[in-house]
Structure 1
Amino acid sequence: MAQTDDFGFGTQIRKSPYFDATVRWGATAFSVYNHMYIPRAFGDPEQNFWNLVNEAILCDVAAERQVEITGPDAAKFVQKLTPRDLSNMAVGQCKYILITNTEGGILNDPILLRLAENHFWISLADSDVLLWAQGVAVHSGMDIEIREPDVSPLQLQGPKSGEVMKALFGDKIMDLRYYWLREVELDGIPLIVSRTGWSSELGYELYLRDGACGDVLWEKIMAAGAPYGLKPGHTSSIRRIEGGMLSYHADADIHTNPYELGMDRLVSPDMEADFIGKIALRRIRDKGVKRKQVGLRLDCAPLKGPNTSFWPITKGRDTVGKVTSAVYSPRLEQNIALAMVSAEDAEIGTELNVETVFGPARAVVVEKPFFDPKKKIAIAA
């Protein structure tokens, strides 16, 4: 059995409240996300995928750090950070947002949670938005406080996740709607629970508000989930690519704008409220984009794992883009990929070539998401 000291990059990388528990339950490899360890392997990644889509998995995603914004001007300040119109966001609601800079480039694609009228959490992808927000606040003239609270989320995802939640919290938890949150306790452990997650499956996130309870919380959930086949797991590259979900730094970065990703619905450049990047995003919208994100089907032998470099995409002798995320889907029995290509090569059915590390492959532009495009699974009660 692995020991916690078997994994180490030094004390500059933080451990989550669940770190010891994940090692105890079989984590064999970790990555670094928001300066924190995050489990990336519990054995075979394909089995992890099947555990997720057939039963349920529990994932340590404490590396999804929270930026907490409070104070009389909290709502106005949060709106300044994102081009998504938040004017109708209710207390208790969650929203997927983009955070943009003055050029319209994406700095993060987090989940925003509204805990109270003037109390927000920004649940981060992998980038230092805490520092960005504090920098924006310096000369804003707004009455706010910005900090990183003692909050560490877990993801409970998969078709049996609702049964596990019912075992933990009773029948009342089953009326929690998709992208809404609730404040609860589990045997005195303070939590925020939301119907969200990075899997495109039915799922929940449990935000622990006391890091000292991490080990106890993990064990309580695993015990409650045992009758339903709950397994320890990690976020599934296979499932998130099937669902067309972004991985920041891979599928989007500071040089990517929302229109290139087809995320027009998350941008309201004509709303009255001001936000960072408003002028740039208006200009990009009116001018159009030179490249677009697409889905690809790669016709080659099953990939042995997700890509770890960007693969060039060519058409004839010209390089027209790059593969950002690729994987073999055992459910679809095909290689699938997210890619950024020139706008003129983004039409469905366009044939391209990809230089994979395993050799050249023929590619075809296809619809994305690749599976359950209407998110019926995730939204299901």
Structure 2
Amino acid sequence: MTKSDGFGFGTQIRKSPYFDATVRWGAQGFSVYNHMYIPRDFGSPEQNFWNLVNDAILCDVAVERQVEITGPDAAKFVQMLTPRDLSKMAVGQCKYILITNADGGLLNDPILLRLAENHFWISLADSDILLWAQGVAVHSGLDVSICEPDVSPLQLQGPKSGEVMKALFGDSIMDLKYYWLRKFELDGIPLIVSRTGWSSELGYELYLQDGTRGDELWEKVMAAGKPFDLKPGHTSSIRRIEGGMLSYHADADINTNPYELGFDRLVNLDIDAEFIGKSALRRIKKNGTSRKQVGLVIDGAPLTGPNTTFWAISKDGAVVGKVTSAVYSPRLEQNIALAMISTGCSEIGTVVDVAMPDGIHKATIAERPFFDPKKKIAAS
């Protein structure tokens, strides 16, 4: 490992094309996601949250690596990977999908982008789907090519993100619909722009297609956003937990199935395609699940940061689940959490005990998402 600007970095973990820009703009800490560094600290997480919900923030999310699938059988192959029905997915559309294994376990919950009839990107959460897809392709008998392209997304999120985009691309960007994409060039920088993002706010993702121009793109966006109080930022744990958004490895993993997460709408067992996990998911749906994801409101003083371990949940002295993601919401003035819990204890209003580092706290099962449950803000 070598030292750079006070951080220790090695070549086995990749830096994004925006890395130097984020350090220059005040990044104070990083974590690792998809074998890449991601900025996780620009100062106060609470201020980052308020910047997001009141104005706009720009986030380096190049860690959302792309799996590119092309070839005559690309559409058929992509449908093999997911239980969501893609038969009506148009060119230029994006969809939130689940990728499942033969047991119905969740391998990733990415965004799928359809750039052309036989051209897809899978914009990943934190797991190695490139390897999975290449492995599945080997004996599939389908004519596809699978690689990781030179693509690095930025997230521009918040209520003023539309104004920043208009300053960058003109009025035509305003008719880009939620979960759709469009090709752009910004002073010669090749981009795919989508109305998506990991924030539950109005937002856009800018998929840079030339990694040598990352620094230039970052500075152009920040300059355009200056009149709108755009700030450099990081994906907000506060906002994503308010919005009930999953963080893979925390809220779900290979041993979690879609029905436990309440994702029935993303599983279509009636389509003709024999997607991976179809028989297992059919069996799980028939038999029901023994646990489910819920929201929790936890009593006590405001949490000083997100949980770094899973906290055991008990009812009448017996462990019945675990807290997977917890944070204090300054807007709701509550400690809120996502949890996986026994179905017998999952009814809204049920009071349980949570074993936290400072002792046992009472918590109440609550509806999730905690804020804007219909996603009206993001879709506006």
For structure 2, the residue ranges without an aligned partner over 5 or more in a row are none
CA distance in 2, matches of 1:27, 1:5: 10
The amino acid across from 2:216 in the alignment is V
Does residue 60 of structure 2 align to residue 42 of structure 1? no
Q: How does 1:137-216 map to 2 (within 5 A)?
A: 137-216=137-216
The amino acid across from 1:63 in the alignment is V
The amino acid across from 1:231 in the alignment is K
CA distance in 2, matches of 1:78, 1:138: 14
Does residue 291 of structure 2 align to residue 287 of structure 1? no
- Corresponding position of 1:376: 376
- Corresponding position of 2:248: 248
The amino acid across from 2:272 in the alignment is E
- Corresponding position of 1:79: 79
| CA shift for structure 1 position 271 | 1.2
Q: Answer yes or no: is the 8 Å Cα contact 1:20–1:215 preserved in 2.
A: yes
The amino acid across from 2:97 in the alignment is I
- Corresponding position of 2:330: 330
- Corresponding position of 1:29: 29
| CA shift for structure 1 position 360 | 1.1
- Corresponding position of 1:97: 97
CA distance in 2, matches of 1:43, 1:305: 13
CA distance in 2, matches of 1:230, 1:5: 24
> Percent sequence identity over matched residues?
80
Q: Answer yes or no: is the 8 Å Cα contact 1:182–1:193 preserved in 2.
A: yes
**Segments of 4+ moved more than 3 angstroms:** none
CA distance in 2, matches of 1:228, 1:359: 44
The amino acid across from 1:52 in the alignment is L
RMSD across aligned positions (CA): 0.7
| CA shift for structure 1 position 317 | 1.2
- Corresponding position of 2:131: 131
How many pairs were matched up? 378
The amino acid across from 2:302 in the alignment is P
- Corresponding position of 1:320: 320
| CA shift for structure 1 position 316 | 1.1
| CA shift for structure 1 position 294 | 0.1
Deviations 1:308-339 (A, max 9, x none): 00000000110000000000000000000000
Deviations 1:245-281 (A, max 9, x none): 0000000000000000000000011211110000000
Q: Secondary structure at the match of 1:8?
A: strand
Deviations 1:188-231 (A, max 9, x none): 00000000000000000000000000000000000000000000
The amino acid across from 2:283 in the alignment is R
CA distance in 2, matches of 1:5, 1:19: 12
The amino acid across from 1:77 in the alignment is F
| CA shift for structure 1 position 147 | 0.1
- Corresponding position of 1:356: 356
- Corresponding position of 1:296: 296
- Corresponding position of 2:118: 118
Q: Secondary structure at the match of 1:378?
A: helix
Q: Answer yes or no: is the 8 Å Cα contact 1:313–1:321 preserved in 2.
A: yes
| CA shift for structure 1 position 9 | 3.6
CA distance in 2, matches of 1:93, 1:8: 40
Does residue 235 of structure 2 align to residue 235 of structure 1? yes
CA distance in 2, matches of 1:13, 1:343: 40
The amino acid across from 1:132 in the alignment is W
Q: Secondary structure at the match of 2:27?
A: coil
Q: Answer yes or no: is the 8 Å Cα contact 1:18–1:218 preserved in 2.
A: yes
Q: Secondary structure at the match of 2:222?
A: helix
| CA shift for structure 1 position 4 | 4.1
CA distance in 1, matches of 2:192, 2:255: 33
CA distance in 2, matches of 1:339, 1:358: 19
TM-score normalized by the length of structure 2: 0.99
The amino acid across from 1:272 in the alignment is D
The amino acid across from 2:299 in the alignment is D
Q: Answer yes or no: is the 8 Å Cα contact 1:4–1:20 preserved in 2.
A: no
The amino acid across from 2:76 in the alignment is K
Deviations 1:105-124 (A, max 9, x none): 00000000000000000000
CA distance in 2, matches of 1:359, 1:248: 27
